[in-house]
Amino acid sequence: MKNRWAETPDNEIDQLVYQSRLVGAEESLVLWGGGNNSVKAHSTDLLGAPIPVMYIKSSGSDMKTIVPKEFPAVRLDYIEPLRSRDGEMSDQEMVDYLARCVVDPSSRRPSIETLLHAFLPARAVLHTHADAILALTNTRGRETTVRECFGDSVITVPYLRPGFRLSRDVADAFASKPDAEGLVLMNHGLITWGDTAREAYEKHVELVSRAEEYLSRGSRESGVGATTPDTRHPTPELLAPAIRGALGAKRSVILEFDGSEDVLRFLARDDAKRITQIGPATPDHLLYTKRYPLFLEAGDDVSKALNDYVERYTAHYKNYPSEFAMLDPHPRVVLVPGAGMWTAGKDARAARIVRDIYRHTMRIIESAQGAGGYETLNDEDAFHAEYWPLELYKLTLLPKEKELAGKVAIVTGAASGIGRACAERFAEEGAHVVVTDVDIALAEEVAKSIVAKHGLRRAIALRLDVSGEDDVERAYAETIAAYGGVDIIVSNAGISSFGSLDVLPAADWDRAFAVNARGHFLVARAALRVMKQQKTGGSIVFNASKNVTAPGKEFGAYSVSKAAEAQLCRIVALEGGEFGIRANMLNPDAIFGGSRFWSDEMRSMRATAYGISSENLPDFYRNRTLLKTEVTADDVAEAALFLAGPRSSKTTGAMVPVDGGVKEAFPR
Ligand code: NAD
- Stretch 425-449: mean pLDDT: 98
| Predicted local distance difference test score (pLDDT) of residue 226 | 47
HSE of 513, CA atoms in CB hemisphere, 13 A: 10
Ligand 1 atom at minimum distance from 589 CA: 42
φ and ψ at 632, to 5 degrees? -115, 165
- Closest CA to ligand 1's atom 34: 494
Q: Tell which one of 434, 597, 605, 631 to mutate to probe ligand 1, the residue whose CB is within 8 A of the most ligand atoms.
A: 597
Q: Is the CB of 467 under 6 A from ligand 1?
A: yes
Picking from 167, 170, 168, the residue whose alpha carbon sits closest to that of residue 180 is 170
| Predicted local distance difference test score (pLDDT) of residue 233 | 60
φ and ψ at 465, to 5 degrees? -95, 110
- Where is average pLDDT lowest: 213-217, 288-292, 412-416, 599-603? 599-603
| Predicted local distance difference test score (pLDDT) of residue 392 | 81
Domain ranges (residues) in the chain: 12-222, 236-396, 408-597+630-665
462 CA → ligand 1 middle, Å: 16
The order of strands in the sheet holding 432-437 is: 459-463, 432-437, 408-411, 488-491, 538-543, 581-588, 655-658
Alpha carbons 382 and 375: distance in angstroms, whole number: 13
Predicted confidence band of residue 232 (pLDDT cuts 50, 70, 90): low
Which one-letter amino acid corresponds to residue 600? Answer: D
Picking from 309, 308, 307, the residue whose alpha carbon sits closest to that of residue 293 is 309
- Closest CA to ligand 1's atom 42: 589
Q: Is the CB of 239 under 6 A from ligand 1?
A: no
Provide the 8-state DSSP code for 193: E
Our measurement of the distance from residue 582's CA atom to the centroid of its chain's CA atoms, rounded to an integer in Å, reads 27
DSSP string, 463-514: E--TT-HHHHHHHHHHHHHHHS--SEEEE-------B-GGG--HHHHHHHHI
- Where is average pLDDT lowest: 173-177, 223-227, 388-392, 566-570? 223-227
Predicted confidence band of residue 177 (pLDDT cuts 50, 70, 90): very high
Q: Rounded mean pLDDT of the chain?
A: 93
Q: Give strand pairing partners of 75.
A: 53
Our measurement of the distance from residue 491's CA atom to the centroid of its chain's CA atoms, rounded to an integer in Å, reads 26
Q: What is the pLDDT of residues 396-412, one digit of tens each?
A: 788 899 999 999 999 99
What kind of architecture, by CATH, is found in domain 408-597+630-665? 3-Layer(aba) Sandwich (3.40)
Q: What is the pLDDT of residues 245-298, one digit of tens each?
A: 999 888 999 999 999 999 999 999 999 999 999 999 988 888 899 999 999 998
Q: Is the CB of 136 under 6 A from ligand 1?
A: no
- Closest CA to ligand 1's atom 36: 545
Taking a C-beta distance cutoff of 8 angstroms, is the pair 286, 326 a contact?
no
- What are the percentages of helix, strand and coil residues in the chain, rounded to 5? 50, 15, 35
HSE of 79, CA atoms in CB hemisphere, 13 A: 33
Annotated catalytic, 558? yes
CATH code of the domain made up of 236-396: 3.40.225
Alpha carbons 580 and 583: distance in angstroms, whole number: 10
Predicted confidence band of residue 332 (pLDDT cuts 50, 70, 90): very high
Alpha carbons 396 and 394: distance in angstroms, whole number: 5
Alpha carbons 504 and 498: distance in angstroms, whole number: 8
Q: Do domains 236-396 and 408-597+630-665 have the same CATH topology?
A: no
Q: Is the CB of 413 under 6 A from ligand 1?
A: yes
Residue 93 clears pLDDT 80, i.e. is over it: yes
543 CA → ligand 1 middle, Å: 9
Residue 224 clears pLDDT 70, i.e. is over it: no
SS3 364: helix
Provide the 8-state DSSP code for 462: E
Predicted confidence band of residue 234 (pLDDT cuts 50, 70, 90): low
Domain 12-222 annotated CATH 3.40.225.10: yes
| Predicted local distance difference test score (pLDDT) of residue 225 | 47
Q: What is the pLDDT of residues 468-490, one digit of tens each?
A: 999 999 999 999 999 999 999 99
User: Which of 18, 558, 610, 621 is an active site residue?
Assistant: 558
Provide the 8-state DSSP code for 59: T
Taking a C-beta distance cutoff of 8 angstroms, is the pair 134, 357 a contact?
no
Burial of 97 (0-12, 13-18, 19+ CB in 10 A): middle
Question: CA torsion 501→504→506→509, rounded to 10°?
Answer: -70
Q: Is the CB of 494 under 6 A from ligand 1?
A: yes
- Stretch 78-102: mean pLDDT: 93
Ligand 1 atom at minimum distance from 415 CA: 9
Q: What is the pLDDT of residues 624-666, one digit of tens each?
A: 999 999 999 999 999 999 999 999 999 999 999 999 999 999 9
| Predicted local distance difference test score (pLDDT) of residue 452 | 98
Picking from 539, 517, 544, the residue whose alpha carbon sits closest to that of residue 527 is 539
HEC secondary structure over 236-296 = HHHHHHHHHHHHCCCCCCEEEEECCHHHHHHHCECCHHHHHCCCCCCHHHHHHHCCCCEEC
Q: What is the pLDDT of residues 528-583, one digit of tens each?
A: 999 999 999 999 999 999 999 999 889 999 999 999 999 999 999 999 999 999 99
Of 33 and 495, the structure prediction assigns the larger pLDDT to: 495
Q: What is the pLDDT of residues 111-156, one digit of tens each?
A: 999 999 999 999 999 999 999 999 999 999 899 999 999 999 999 9
- Stretch 415-419: mean pLDDT: 97
Alpha carbons 411 and 447: distance in angstroms, whole number: 11
Picking from 479, 450, 484, the residue whose alpha carbon sits closest to that of residue 462 is 479
Residues comprising the chain, all counted = 668
Q: Tell which one of 420, 435, 437 to mutate to probe ligand 1, the residue whose CB is within 8 A of the most ligand atoms.
A: 437
Burial of 565 (0-12, 13-18, 19+ CB in 10 A): buried
Taking a C-beta distance cutoff of 8 angstroms, is the pair 284, 129 a contact?
yes
Ligand 1 atom at minimum distance from 417 CA: 26
